[in-house]
Amino acid sequence: MHEDDDQSTTTIYAGFNGEDKTVGQGTPDYKITAKLPFDHGDLFFDNNCLVDCMGQYSLRCSDEATKTDLVDNPY
């Protein structure tokens, strides 16, 4: 078994300008790349931080890696 077979990786972007209704892409202020086991419990995104309901996992957004990330505008 590959060591990553029991894990899931996802990227979350945050800090978009909610006033910008332009269709297209933009650069968000924050980014989280999380890697967790598939059987991990519920996760919540609060105050630019990904946390679990048991308080055992916490991952803060990074504002350094997103300056070049161009993603679809969610608004």
DSSP-derived 3-state class of residue 18: coil
Question: CA 41 to CA 36: how far, in whole Å?
Answer: 10
Burial call 8-20: b when 16+ CB within 10 Å, e when fewer:
eeeebbbebeeee
Residue 32 domain flag: yes
Residue 71 domain flag: no
The answer to whether residues 18 and 3 touch, using CB atoms and an 8 Å cutoff, is no
Number of structural domains the chain divides into = 1
Q: pLDDT tier at 1 (50, 70, 90 boundaries)?
A: very low
The answer to whether residues 50 and 34 touch, using CB atoms and an 8 Å cutoff, is yes
User: In this structure, what DSSP letter does residue 63 have?
Assistant: S
Q: Is the pLDDT of residue 51 over 50?
A: yes
| Structural domain span for residue 49 | 7-66
Q: Which pLDDT does position 49 carry in this prediction?
A: 84
Residue 28 domain flag: yes
Residue 73 domain flag: no
Residue 74 domain flag: no
Supply the pTM of this predicted model. Answer: 0.69
Say what percent of the chain tops pLDDT 70: 85
Q: Which pLDDT does position 67 carry in this prediction?
A: 66
